[in-house]
Amino acid sequence: MRPLTYYIDKFIIALYAASLAGGILVCTSYDANAADENRKSVNIRAVASTSRTADYMSADDFLLDNEKAADSEGISEYLQKLKKEGLYHHENESEEDELDDEAMYEDPAPEETDEKPEDETKDVIDIDPDDWHLMLVNKQNPVPEGFEVNLANINDSMMADERIIADIYEMMEAAEDDGVSLMICSAYRSYDRQKTLFNNKINKLMKEGMTYLEAYKVGSMNVTVPGTSEHHLGLALDILTGSYTEMDDGFGDTEAGKWLAENAPDYGFILRYPKGKEEITGIVYEPWHFRYVGRKYSKDITEKGVCLEEYLKGEF
Residues belonging to the active site? 286
E strands, the chain, where? 151-153, 159-161, 183-186, 236-240, 269-271, 289-292
146: left (phi over 0), alpha (psi -120 to 50) or beta: left
- CB-based contacts of 187: which residues, under 8 Å, 6+ apart? 154, 158, 159, 160, 231, 234, 236, 237, 238
Q: Identify the CA nearest to 304 among candidates 118, 120, 125, 175.
A: 125
The whole-angstrom separation of Cα 151 and Cα 291 is: 16
> Element (H or E) spanning 95, and its range?
none
Residues 309 and 136: beta-carbon distance below 8 Å: yes
Using alpha carbons, select from 207, 201, 167, 212 the residue that is nearest to residue 187. Answer: 167
Do 291 and 235 meet the contact criterion of CB atoms below 8 Å apart? Answer: yes
With H, G, I as helix, E, B as strand and everything else as coil, classify residue 160. strand
- The strand pairing partners of 183, in sequence order, are 240
